[in-house]
């Protein structure tokens, strides 16, 4: 199960939404939302933000989880995935540093 899917399911249950009510509120099929919560389909960032709003929770941690899973899925089967991630991290730091100057 995906981390973001599990967290969103927990938030949905804590907020008192049935799967059906949550799906209707964000205008997607119940089966699709169910598959997303179980990690069988991927969330979009837009959908993560809609659900965070619906469940009245801060979206920052959910977006971080979403992005980390996106990176994991892209690199998990790559021989040099970890090395590529380290290089990308350095490039991102460099880019952010130059944009802030």
Confidence of residue 21 (pLDDT cuts 50, 70, 90): very high
List the chain domain ranges: 3-76
Q: Could you give the CA distance from residue 101 to residue 98 in angstroms, rounded to a whole number?
A: 5
Q: Are 28 and 47 in contact (CB under 8 A)?
A: yes
* Of 70, 97, 90, 100, nearest in space to 5 by CA: 70
User: 29-84, pLDDT tens digit by residue?
Assistant: 999 999 999 989 999 999 999 999 999 999 999 999 999 999 998 999 999 999 99
As given in the structure block, the two tokens for residue 63 are: 């977006």
- In this structure, whether the domain defined by 3-76 belongs to CATH 3.30.930.10 is answered with no
Q: Which of the 8 DSSP states describes residue 39?
A: T
């Amino acid at each position: 199960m995906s981390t973001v899917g599990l967290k969103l399911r927990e938030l949905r249950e804590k907020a008192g939404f049935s799967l059906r009510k949550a799906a209707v509120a964000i205008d997607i099929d119940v089966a699709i939302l169910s598959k997303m919560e179980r990690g069988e389909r991927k969330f979009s960032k837009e959908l993560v933000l809609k659900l965070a709003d619906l469940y009245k929770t801060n979206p920052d941690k959910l977006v971080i989880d979403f992005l980390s899973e996106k990176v994991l899925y892209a690199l998990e089967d790559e021989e040099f995935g970890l090395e590529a991630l380290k290089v990308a991290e350095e490039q991102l730091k460099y880019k952010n540093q130059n944009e802030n100057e």
